[in-house]
Structure formats: structure tokens, C-alpha cells
């Protein structure tokens, strides 16, 4: 049974720049949590009260580059460091000696610490479960945080062991200088990698699935088999172009924006049988994915074979290949066999939104006449600007279509799918809606201005106003 925690208020001198007594309180989880320091703090006691187990928000919004005293803190019992240096934009202090072996939560820890770029390569993260947004916006950070063996005071351990982490979403988002190896990471428990490297413009490291050995332990690095969300994972990673062909994506449901604006990416990611560490599985199995909006949008180099993809659960494909100016691969519906399993590849029968799907995909000109379009509601601008596309898709049955605007302006009429009269009228109204609105306004004004009744009414009202 935990002892009752007494509240202690922090004490400061020198205009709130020097803390002489650290404050703490009991939080809603019955933990002893540190009191947030004043933003002007530049010095603190070099001994952390032994009861403190939660450092969440400790230096949130701090304005100092260095906070003297924290380098000596014993943080071995601390379990929560979330938001610890949140938006401490000038912070850049050596905290390499911290024993972080008990920490479970490092989410938002260095969020928007613009200047932070210190060596933390020996940190023990073996108990951390949450690294969401940990370095998000750390624009200077570019340190080695790969998993490796460390010897310290006759103690041997694995630094940056991330095997318990479940959430890595937004972890390196906007880390514009980050580009160090992560190839040993054990991501086998991670469920969320959405936006993980978004806007990490320099990042181009090997993160393919492979066997790794550390100490006496052999494991599979970058095992992504539990990940459910990879949306916007590499968005605007303008230098990223390393292999991912071994990834097990069988549980992923969201891939929207995954390679959006990854302008150099052009790696094989077709569905295929893979054997890693004597274990056989199907790589790039996308059968559970429901969202692929913007997936390859502006991925201007991408032109790989993805003909085996099982898209049978896909519902959203909005702008999927928009401005993918090199893409020209066979993605027609067909029977395939991978790892002795037969299925129908590129079955799009559940897709509802294909708006802008191939917009400005300048080279795309593949036969997709076998696509089942029975549930599609939106195909606006689907082939707008797709100047090479010249395939006969007149057999498409657009049973539920609601938006047909600017569908395929360059495609000859006899190759276009037929719409019934009501849907065509609805589509024309949508296409010329703005013009129709302005015409209606002009007609109403003309009727009012040139109607004798209008002049009579106006004249009588003017006379009445002078009476």
C-alpha cells in the first residue's frame, strides 16, 4: 500500500529563475508528480525528491537553453516523462547519464524542442510503451538512437530497446534534420505508426524487416505485423527511398497518404511470399486496408508493380495516384495466387470514393475495364489531367454515382461509361452549378429592374418616405 503523498509547493529566488525547493503533488493516478517549473527557471536542486515518479510537464514551455542541476538527477524510479520538455524551444542540455529504465511513457517528451540535439544513445527504454510525438518538431535532433549493447559499471544492457512500445505515431514528424540508423529496432508490439516520419525531409534509413542479434537475443527488427495505422507515415519524406518489401502489413487498416509527396520513393511493395528467420508469411498483404486516400499522391518517381494487391476491403481511394506522374502499372482486376492462396486482386467492389484518383497521373494508361464500380459514388476529376489515359471503360456500371464532374475530359466519348438520364442531369447541374447560380441571380435582377410592377412599387415607397 502506497504512503500518502504530502503536497509540497516549489520555492524560487532571483525572480523565479532559481528553484531552491522542488514542488510535487498527488495526481489523479495517485502518483507523486513534480510541480511544473516556472518558464524562467535556469537552475534547480541537483537532487530529485525520492517520492517523485512522474515528471510529466516538468519543464513545459521553459525558455532556457540549460537548466543547471537536472543532469545529476536520479530518475531511476520515474515512470512518466511525457511532455517533460514540451515546447521548451531553447533547451539543449546534456542528460545522457539519466537512468530511464523504469520509464513507461515518453510521449511528447521533446515536442517542439527546436534546439535539442544531445547524445541520449545509452538510454534504457526497455519499459517504454508510448513514444507518440516524442521528437515531433525537434528540428535540430539527429542523434544515434539505434538499438545497441551498452556496458555501464559492469552492467550490460540493450539501449533503445523499443520492444514494448505500442504507439510511435508522429514520433519524428517535422524532424527535418533527422537521418540516423534505426535498423535494429524491435517494433513487434507497435500498433500505430501514423505520421511517424511525416516531413522528416532528410530521413532515408534502412527500416526493412530482417533478423538481428543483440546479446544472446535474436529477433526480427522492424516487424510491423501488429501495426493497424500507417497513414501519412512517410508523407513529404522527400529523400526516402529504401526497401520495405519484407513488411507484414496484414493488420493495417489505414494507408491514406502513406507515401504522399515522397518524391523519390520507388521501391517494390507488391504482395508476395517472404521467409524471415524460417518463418513464412505474405508481405504487403493489404487485404484489411479500408483507406488509401492520397496514398501515392505526388509520389512522382513511384512506378512499381502492385498488381497482386488485395483491395477487397478498400472503401476510400480519393486522389490515390494523383500527380503520381511516373505510375503506369497493371492494376486491373484479376485472379492471382500468392503463398498458395487464390484471390481476386484489385477487387474494388467496396470502394465509394475515387474522386481525383488518377488526376494529373500523366503516364497512366492501363486497362482497368474489369473494375467493379457498383458502389462508387464519387468519380469527379478521376482522370482529369491524365493526358495519356485512353482505355475503353464504357462497360463500367455506375449504379450509385453522385458526382461525375470533370470525370475524364480527355477520354473519347465512346470509351466513357454510360449514365442514366437522371444521373447525367444531376452531374451536369453539379458541373455547371456556379454558372447556373449566377444566371439565376441575373434573371432575378432583370425581372426586378424591368418589371413595371417593380417601378410602381419603388415609386410609391419613395413618395411615402417623404410624407
One domain, residues 334 and 444: no
User: For residues 81 and 54, is the Cβ–Cβ distance under 8 A?
Assistant: no
| pLDDT value at residue 1 | 46
CA dist 312 and 308 (Å) reads 12
CA dist 200 and 175 (Å) reads 5
The mean pLDDT value of the chain amounts to: 93
Higher pLDDT, 263 or 465: 263
- Say whether pLDDT at 429 is over 70: no
One domain, residues 444 and 415: no
Report the SS3 class of residue 105. Answer: strand
User: For residues 282 and 307, is the Cβ–Cβ distance under 8 A?
Assistant: no
Give the CA angle between residues 278, 281, 287 to the nearest 5°: 170
- Note whether residue 66 is domain-resident: no
- Say whether pLDDT at 177 is over 70: yes
- Say whether pLDDT at 433 is over 80: no
One domain, residues 364 and 451: no
pLDDT tens-digit readout, 443-463: 777 766 666 666 566 666 665
Q: Per-residue b/e over 323-349, b at no fewer than 16 CB within 10 Å?
A: bbbbbbbebebeeeebeeeeeebbbbb
- Say whether pLDDT at 435 is over 80: no
Q: Which residue has the cell 512522474?
A: 54
| pLDDT value at residue 171 | 99
One domain, residues 392 and 349: yes
Separation of first and last alpha carbons in the chain: 90
- Say whether pLDDT at 427 is over 70: no
One domain, residues 461 and 355: no
Give 152's pLDDT tier (boundaries 50, 70, 90): confident
pLDDT tens-digit readout, 74-88: 999 999 999 999 999
- Least Cα distance to 356 among 265, 295, 428, 304 occurs for 295
| pLDDT value at residue 438 | 78
Q: Which residue has the cell 524510479?
A: 77
- Note whether residue 108 is domain-resident: no
One domain, residues 343 and 439: no
CA dist 216 and 371 (Å) reads 51
CA dist 20 and 37 (Å) reads 11
One domain, residues 462 and 337: no
pLDDT tens-digit readout, 323-377: 999 999 999 999 999 989 999 999 999 999 999 999 999 999 999 999 999 999 9
Residues with Cβ within 8 Å of 86's Cβ and at least 6 positions away in sequence, in order, are: 57, 59, 60, 61, 108, 109, 111, 112
- Say whether pLDDT at 21 is over 70: yes
Its domain, for residue 366, covers 228-421
One domain, residues 240 and 282: yes
| pLDDT value at residue 424 | 55
Mean pLDDT of 178-202: 98
Total of domains in the chain: 2
User: For residues 383 and 359, is the Cβ–Cβ distance under 8 A?
Assistant: yes
- Say whether pLDDT at 3 is over 70: no
% helix, strand, coil for the chain, step of 5: 10, 15, 75
- Note whether residue 407 is domain-resident: yes
Mean pLDDT of 269-280: 96
- Note whether residue 170 is domain-resident: no
Q: Per-residue b/e over 60-93, b at no fewer than 16 CB within 10 Å?
A: bebebeebebbeebebeebbbbbbbbbbbbebbb
> How are beta strands 334-338 and 341-345 bridged, if at all?
antiparallel
Element at 212 (helix H, strand E) = strand 210-214
pLDDT exceeding 90 applies to what percent of the chain? 85
- Least Cα distance to 225 among 281, 307, 169 occurs for 281
- Note whether residue 335 is domain-resident: yes
CA dist 374 and 446 (Å) reads 45
Mean pLDDT of 105-122: 98
User: For residues 143 and 178, is the Cβ–Cβ distance under 8 A?
Assistant: no
User: For residues 59 and 84, is the Cβ–Cβ distance under 8 A?
Assistant: yes
Least confident of 150-154, 181-185, 394-398: 150-154
| pLDDT value at residue 442 | 80
Give 440's pLDDT tier (boundaries 50, 70, 90): confident
Q: List Cα–Cα distances, 413 to 208, 376, 384, 405, 409, in angstroms.
A: 46, 20, 14, 15, 9
One domain, residues 247 and 381: yes
Give 186's pLDDT tier (boundaries 50, 70, 90): very high
| pLDDT value at residue 439 | 80
| pLDDT value at residue 108 | 99
One domain, residues 451 and 303: no
Burial level of 412, CB count in 10 A (0-12/13-18/19+)? exposed
One domain, residues 329 and 376: yes
Q: How many CB atoms within 10 Å of residue 227?
A: 26
CA dist 365 and 408 (Å) reads 13
One domain, residues 361 and 288: yes
Q: Which residue has the cell 522527400?
A: 238
Amino acid at each position: 500500500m502506497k504512503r500518502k503523498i504530502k503536497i509540497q509547493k516549489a520555492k524560487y529566488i532571483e525572480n523565479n529563475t532559481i528553484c531552491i525547493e522542488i514542488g510535487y503533488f498527488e495526481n489523479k493516478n495517485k502518483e507523486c508528480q513534480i510541480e511544473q517549473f516556472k518558464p524562467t527557471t535556469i537552475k534547480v536542486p541537483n537532487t530529485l525528491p525520492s517520492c517523485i515518479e512522474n515528471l510529466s510537464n516538468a519543464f513545459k514551455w521553459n525558455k532556457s537553453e540549460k537548466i543547471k542541476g537536472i543532469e545529476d538527477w536520479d530518475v531511476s524510479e520515474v515512470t512518466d516523462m511525457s511532455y517533460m520538455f514540451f515546447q521548451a524551444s531553447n533547451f539543449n542540455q546534456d542528460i545522457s547519464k539519466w537512468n530511464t529504465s523504469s520509464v513507461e511513457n515518453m510521449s511528447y517528451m521533446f515536442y517542439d524542442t527546436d534546439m535539442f540535439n544531445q547524445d541520449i544513445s545509452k538510454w534504457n527504454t526497455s519499459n517504454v510503451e508510448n513514444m507518440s510525438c516524442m521528437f515531433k518538431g525537434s528540428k535540430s535532433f539527429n542523434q544515434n538512437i539505434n538499438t545497441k549493447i551498452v556496458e555501464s559499471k559492469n552492467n550490460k544492457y540493450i539501449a533503445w530497446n523499443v520492444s514494448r512500445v505500442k504507439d510511435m505515431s508522429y514520433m519524428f514528424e517535422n524532424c527535418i534534420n533527422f537521418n540516423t540508423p534505426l535498423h535494429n529496432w524491435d517494433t513487434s508490439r507497435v500498433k500505430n505508426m501514423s505520421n511517424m516520419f511525416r516531413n522528416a525531409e532528410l530521413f532515408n534509413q534502412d527500416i526493412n524487416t530482417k533478423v538481428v542479434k543483440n546479446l544472446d537475443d535474436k529477433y526480427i527488427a522492424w516487424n510491423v505485423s501488429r501495426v493497424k495505422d500507417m497513414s501519412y507515415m512517410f508523407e513529404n519524406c522527400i529523400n526516402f527511398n529504401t526497401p520495405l518489401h519484407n513488411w507484414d502489413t496484414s493488420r493495417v487498416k489505414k494507408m491514406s497518404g502513406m507515401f504522399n509527396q515522397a518524391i523519390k520513393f520507388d521501391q517494390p511493395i507488391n504482395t508476395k511470399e517472404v521467409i524471415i528467420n524460417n518463418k513464412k508469411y505474405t508481405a504487403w498483404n493489404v487485404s484489411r486496408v479500408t483507406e488509401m486516400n492520397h496514398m501515392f499522391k505526388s509520389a512522382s518517381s513511384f512506378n512499381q508493380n502492385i498488381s497482386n494487391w488485395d483491395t477487397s476491403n478498400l472503401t476510400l481511394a480519393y486522389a490515390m495516384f494523383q500527380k503520381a506522374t511516373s505510375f503506369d502499372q497493371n492494376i486491373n482486376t484479376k485472379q492471382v495466387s500468392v503463398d498458395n492462396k487464390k484471390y481476386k486482386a484489385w477487387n474494388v467492389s467496396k470502394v465509394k470514393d475515387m474522386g481525383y484518383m488518377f488526376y494529373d497521373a500523366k503516364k497512366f494508361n492501363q486497362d482497368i475495364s474489369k473494375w467493379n464500380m457498383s458502389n462508387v459514388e464519387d468519380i469527379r476529376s478521376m482522370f482529369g489531367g491524365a493526358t495519356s489515359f485512353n482505355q475503353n471503360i464504357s462497360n463500367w456500371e455506375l449504379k450509385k454515382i453522385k458526382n461525375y464532374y470533370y470525370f475524364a475530359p480527355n477520354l473519347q466519348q465512346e470509351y466513357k461509361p454510360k449514365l442514366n438520364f437522371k444521373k447525367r442531369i444531376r452531374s451536369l447541374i453539379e458541373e455547371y452549378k456556379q454558372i447556373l447560380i449566377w444566371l439565376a441571380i441575373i434573371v432575378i435582377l432583370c425581372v426586378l429592374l424591368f418589371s413595371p410592377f417593380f417601378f410602381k412599387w419603388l415609386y410609391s415607397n419613395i413618395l411615402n418616405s417623404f410624407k
